Amino acid sequence: MKIKRVLKKYYNKAASRIYKFATLKVIYPFVYNLYKKKPIDEKKVLLIEVRSLTLTDSYAVLDRELKARGDFKISYQYLGETIVGIFGCLKRGLACIKELATAKAAFITDACQITSCVNLRKETRLVQIWHACGAFKKFGFSTALLKFGDSEKRMLKYPYYKNISYITVSSPEVVWAYEQAMNSSRFKSKVVPVGISRTDLFFEKDFINSSRERVYKAFPNARDKKVILYAPTFRGKVRSARTGIIDIEQFYQELSDEYVLIIKHHPYVKDPPIVDENYKEFAADLSKICDIEDLLCVADICISDYSSLVFEYSLFERPLIFFAYDIESYNDWRGFYYDYDELTPGPVFMTDDEIIEYIKHIDERFDRQAVKEFRDKFMSSCDGNATNRIIDLALGD
H/E run at residue 115: none
| Least confident residue range of 30-34, 123-127, 143-147 | 143-147
User: In 3D, which of 322, 330, 279 has the Cα closest to residue 302?
Assistant: 322
Residues 182 and 321 placed together within one structural domain of the fold: no
**How many CB atoms are closer than 10 A to CB 101?**
21
Q: What percent of the chain has pLDDT over 70?
A: 97
> Which pLDDT does position 6 carry in this prediction?
53
Q: Where are the alpha helices (DSSP H) in 70-203?
A: 85-100, 152-157, 175-181, 184-187
Confidence check: pLDDT of 118 > 60: yes
Residue 5 included in any domain? no
Residue 9 included in any domain? no
Q: Which tens digit of pLDDT belongs to each residue from 98-112? A: 999 999 999 999 999
User: In 3D, which of 54, 65, 50 has the Cα closest to residue 96?
Assistant: 50
> Which pLDDT does position 16 carry in this prediction?
83
**How many CB atoms are closer than 10 A to CB 106?**
27
Confidence check: pLDDT of 8 > 70: no
| Least confident residue range of 12-21, 43-52, 87-96 | 12-21
* CATH code, domain carrying 135: 3.40.50.11820
> Which pLDDT does position 379 carry in this prediction?
98
Full residue range of the structural domain in which residue 145 is found: 23-196+385-395
Question: Please, what is the average pLDDT of the chain?
Answer: 94
Residue 1 included in any domain? no
Confidence check: pLDDT of 146 > 90: no
* CATH code, domain carrying 276: 3.40.50.12580
Residue 51 included in any domain? yes
User: In 3D, which of 315, 323, 354 has the Cα closest to residue 229?
Assistant: 323
Residues 32 and 101 placed together within one structural domain of the fold: yes
> Which pLDDT does position 332 carry in this prediction?
86
Confidence check: pLDDT of 230 > 90: yes
Residues 278 and 340 placed together within one structural domain of the fold: yes
Distance of CA 333 to the CA centre of its chain: 19
Residues 284 and 366 placed together within one structural domain of the fold: yes
Residue 13 included in any domain? no
Residues 154 and 47 placed together within one structural domain of the fold: yes
Residue 7 included in any domain? no
> Which pLDDT does position 304 carry in this prediction?
96
- Specify which residues 349 forms β-bridges with: 323
Task: Return the top range by mean pLDDT from 51-55, 240-244, 358-362.
Answer: 358-362
Instruction: State mean pLDDT over 267-293.
Output: 92
Residues 146 and 293 placed together within one structural domain of the fold: no
